[in-house]
């Protein structure tokens, strides 16, 4: 028997009234019916997944390339390149270095080896009863390192996995591993301090930083061309340059210097992020220095967006002082455009002030539910997702490392709704829109000041997601990839909601949908 309660009635009424406008009463009615249907299936995991698999979700803004490809695809890639693996450790290599190693391709005819590699290279089989799997999770990256040099094939695999999933945009965090040692060598023997960063920058330039950067830009563009380009007609890919923060500070600084310049020059690279476990020694010890570095480069490259992993902690993981400031510092000192994870927000000094600042500045939090559950044990009411929603912080939902985690974006939406009744259809619809609004895609937004009720003046008189009427509007969308993607998403949402409404209308056993339709007519 479906649940029927007052909050749902209020939701239906609000959605019916607020979404009517220029989109028309039919679209308002479809949204209301879709909202009611989601409440009907909220307690059914399988139906939730089917719902969100079909729902247009825009994009995934927080995904690491090396952790996004499923283990099964990694086996195929490694097999094509005749890589070797130690069956005991799961560590891959380009050449055979010990008698106990096997060809990865052997797994294609040896199910025991195949299963072993899938479990070694992912969190397959991990359950909540196993407890936080932080060490197992991060160990996976080292094991597959030899495979991840084949970057174009990884990107193609990601695209193939995304086709037909309701998402057609992804920002992949990656670094050009072929030049990693070369960049690190530039900083060898150098020291970094917050009050001497300009001098260090000049020293690195004198050591050949610009020449290395040129090589990396050229290499990344070759990689993207081999992967089908940034926009292949199915899934658009942009890159966020990864910088390792768990190394000596001068090395992190050199990587940042390269990353910001690459993001400025490469059309494929749209931002910079610090990666590596936030609780490791270097990451914790040098966190304030890393923020000073980001502030320095933000001054030189104000148009290069910064996304930061911050507050990826739970109590007991690190000393309490480290729980108290990382997110706020990432905002104020690190100039973060987006905050990744943010799980320790309620343990920070003045958490509600920090969330108010995020709301005011339009800085979203990237919720990564499966990742936080598997690595931190942050599930249910141990996760701050409801607090961010209540505080009005913009929210985007992302996967982090779906290949390793054995998840996808549809599952993340299903998990959010099943865990937190606060997230109704209005909330998840906004999250889908946020995935493009707060993306680092080029060009202007369809909307003004992150307000989905106010469109750009160039689109005056137009209804987002419908046929474009004026030459001015068409020219604006052609010149602004972000706005064009948002326009397409609006059309996809309208079609999805119309489909849900049509199915509900043909099902007399859906009283909630019927009630929603009634309210939509009564309150156009």
Phi, psi of 25 (to 5 degrees): -65, -35
Calpha distance 257→145 (Å, rounded): 24
Q: What is the pLDDT of residues 116-165, one digit of tens each?
A: 999 999 999 998 888 899 999 999 999 999 999 999 999 999 999 999 99
Spans in the chain with pLDDT lower than 70? 1-24, 507-524
Q: Rounded to an integer, what is the distance from CA 467 to the centroid of its chain?
A: 30
Q: How far apart are CA 287 and CA 323, in angstroms?
A: 12
The pTM assigned to this predicted structure is 0.92
Q: How far is it, in rounded angstroms, from Cα 272 to Cα 261? A: 10
SS (HEC) of 427-457: HHHHHHHHHHHCCCCCCCCCEECCEEEEECH
Q: At what angle do helices 409-419 and 45-54 cross, to 10 degrees?
A: 130
Task: Name the residue with tokens 């992302």.
Answer: 398
Angle (deg, nearest 10), helices 6-18 and 25-41:
160
Cβ atoms of 268 and 239 closer than 8 Å: yes
Q: What is the largest CA-CA distance in the chain?
A: 76
Distance CA 409, CA 423 (A): 16
Q: Looking at residue 511, what is its pLDDT? A: 54
CATH superfamily of 166-420: Metal-dependent hydrolases (3.20.20.140)
Q: How far apart are CA 467 and CA 459, in angstroms?
A: 12
Distance CA 515, CA 33 (A): 8
- What residue spans define the domains of the chain? 6-42+438-522, 68-143, 166-420
CA–CA dist 320, 117 (Å, integer): 37
- Select from 217, 200, 299, 287 the least CA-distant residue to 251: 200
Residue whose structure tokens are 């600084």: 253
């Amino acid at each position: 028997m479906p649940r029927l309660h007052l909050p749902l009635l209020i939701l239906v009424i609000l959605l019916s009234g607020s979404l009517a406008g220029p989109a028309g009463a039919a679209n308002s009615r479809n949204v209301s019916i879709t909202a009611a249907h989601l409440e009907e299936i909220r307690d059914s995991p399988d139906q939730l997944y089917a719902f969100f698999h079909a729902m247009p979700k825009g994009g995934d803004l927080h995904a690491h390339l090396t952790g996004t490809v499923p283990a099964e695809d990694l086996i195929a890639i490694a097999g094509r390149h005749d890589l070797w693996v130690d069956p005991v450790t799961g560590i891959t290599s380009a050449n055979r270095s010990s008698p106990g190693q096997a060809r990865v391709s052997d797994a294609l005819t040896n199910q025991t080896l195949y299963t072993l590699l899938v479990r070694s290279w992912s969190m397959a089989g991990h359950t909540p009863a196993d407890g936080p799997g932080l060490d197992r999770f991060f160990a996976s990256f080292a094991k597959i390192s030899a495979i991840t040099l084949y970057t174009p094939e990884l990107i193609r695999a990601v695209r193939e996995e995304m086709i037909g999933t309701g998402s057609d945009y992804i920002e992949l965090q990656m670094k050009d591993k072929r030049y990693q040692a070369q960049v690190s060598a530039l900083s060898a023997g150098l020291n970094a301090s917050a009050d001497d960063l300009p001098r260090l920058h000049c020293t690195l330039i004198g050591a050949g930083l610009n020449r290395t950067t040129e090589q990396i830009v050229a290499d990344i563009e070759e990689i993207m061309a081999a992967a089908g380009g940034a926009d292949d007609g199915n899934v658009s890919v942009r890159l966020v340059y990864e910088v390792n923060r768990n190394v000596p500070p001068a090395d992190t600084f050199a990587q940042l210097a390269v990353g910001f310049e690459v993001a400025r020059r490469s059309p494929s690279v749209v931002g910079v992020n610090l990666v590596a476990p936030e609780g490791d020694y270097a990451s914790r010890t040098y966190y304030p220095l890393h923020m000073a570095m980001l502030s320095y480069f933000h001054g030189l490259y104000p148009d290069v967006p910064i996304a930061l992993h911050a507050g990826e902690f739970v109590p007991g993981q690190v000393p309490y002082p480290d729980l108290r400031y990382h997110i706020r510092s990432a905002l104020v000192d690190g100039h973060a455009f987006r905050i990744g994870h943010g799980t320790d927000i309620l343990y920070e000094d003045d958490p509600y002030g920090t969330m108010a600042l995020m709301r005011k500045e339009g800085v979203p939090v990237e919720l990564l539910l499966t990742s936080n559950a598997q690595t931190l044990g942050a599930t249910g009411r141990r996760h701050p997702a409801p607090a961010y929603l209540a505080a009005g912080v913009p929210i985007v939902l992302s996967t982090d490392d779906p290949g390793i985690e054995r998840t996808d974006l549809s599952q993340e939406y299903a998990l959010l709704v099943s865990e937190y009744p606060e997230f109704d259809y209005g909330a998840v619809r906004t999250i889908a829109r946020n995935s493009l609004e707060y993306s680092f895609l080029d060009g202007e937004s369809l909307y003004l000041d992150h307000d989905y009720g106010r469109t750009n003046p160039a689109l005056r008189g137009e209804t987002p997601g419908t046929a474009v009427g004026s030459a001015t509007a068409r020219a604006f969308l052609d010149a602004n990839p972000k706005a064009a993607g948002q326009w397409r998403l609006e059309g996809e949402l309208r079609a999805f909601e119309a489909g849900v409404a049509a199915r509900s209308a043909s099902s007399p056993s859906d009283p909630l949908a019927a009630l929603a339709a009634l309210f939509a007519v009564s309150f156009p």
